[in-house]
Amino acid sequence: MSKNSVKKVIVFLIAIALSFIACGCAAKNNYSTSQLSEEILKLASFSEMKALSGTSLPSYFVFSDGDVKRFNVMVSANSESSDTLACFEVIDEKQRSVAISGISQYLSNQSNSFKSTIEKEYNKVQNRLLMELENIIILVVSNDTASIWDYLTELGAKEVV
């Protein structure tokens, strides 16, 4: 094989490798609400948490489990803590709007509850993390949101405004 043929083969192989890399980077990761929740729980310390079921969801977020595709929500088991980790998967703009509205109402209720009683918890609610990754809306109320913010932005999440 001549030097010219070897160069062409090498260039061809490099082009194929770059194509595979480009396709891999463009693919969606399709995260699940439970995967994200598990990873976030590892990154920060939360108070003792309890998971919400579909029947208890409306009393916290003013929408039902039928208003979102999937969810994984944990709130503090202690009424003196505002710790919250909620991931809501939505399928369209209507579900997104319902979820954002419910989250806003929840945060407002939490703020009002802690504003005059436990300033530390009130500040946690005010400094909450609300982000969106693909079709999942993520709410985190915790003392340590910096490491979670780093993790989520590394995945490509954007802040919800």
Q: What is the per-residue pLDDT across 59-80, written as a single tens digit (0 to 9) for each?
A: 999 999 899 999 999 999 999 9
For residues 3 and 56, state if they share a domain.
Answer: no
- For residue 84, the number of C-alpha atoms closer than 13 Å in the C-beta half-sphere is 29
Higher pLDDT, 18 or 126: 126
For residues 133 and 55, state if they share a domain.
Answer: yes
Owner of token pair 């003392």: 143
For residues 3 and 45, state if they share a domain.
Answer: no
For residues 24 and 35, state if they share a domain.
Answer: no
For residues 96 and 51, state if they share a domain.
Answer: yes
Using 50, 70 and 90 to split pLDDT, how confident is the model at 27? very low
For residues 9 and 48, state if they share a domain.
Answer: no
For residues 40 and 13, state if they share a domain.
Answer: no
N- to C-terminal Cα separation, the chain: 61
What average pLDDT does this structure show over 17-21?
A: 53
For residues 85 and 142, state if they share a domain.
Answer: yes
For residues 44 and 5, state if they share a domain.
Answer: no
For residues 11 and 65, state if they share a domain.
Answer: no
Q: How far is the CA of 34 from the CAs of 3, 37, 112, 114, 140, in angstroms?
A: 54, 5, 29, 28, 14
For residues 5 and 80, state if they share a domain.
Answer: no
Q: What is the per-residue pLDDT across 39-58, written as a single tens digit (0 to 9) for each?
A: 999 999 899 999 999 999 99
Count the residues in the chain: 161
* Domain count across the chain: 2
Angle at 92 between CA 62 and CA 158, to 5 degrees: 85
Q: 16 lies in which domain range?
A: 1-29
> Does position 92 have pLDDT exceeding 90, yes or no?
yes
> Does position 140 have pLDDT exceeding 70, yes or no?
yes
Using 50, 70 and 90 to split pLDDT, how confident is the model at 21? low
Nearest to 157 by CA among 142, 139, 73, 99: 139
For residues 3 and 62, state if they share a domain.
Answer: no
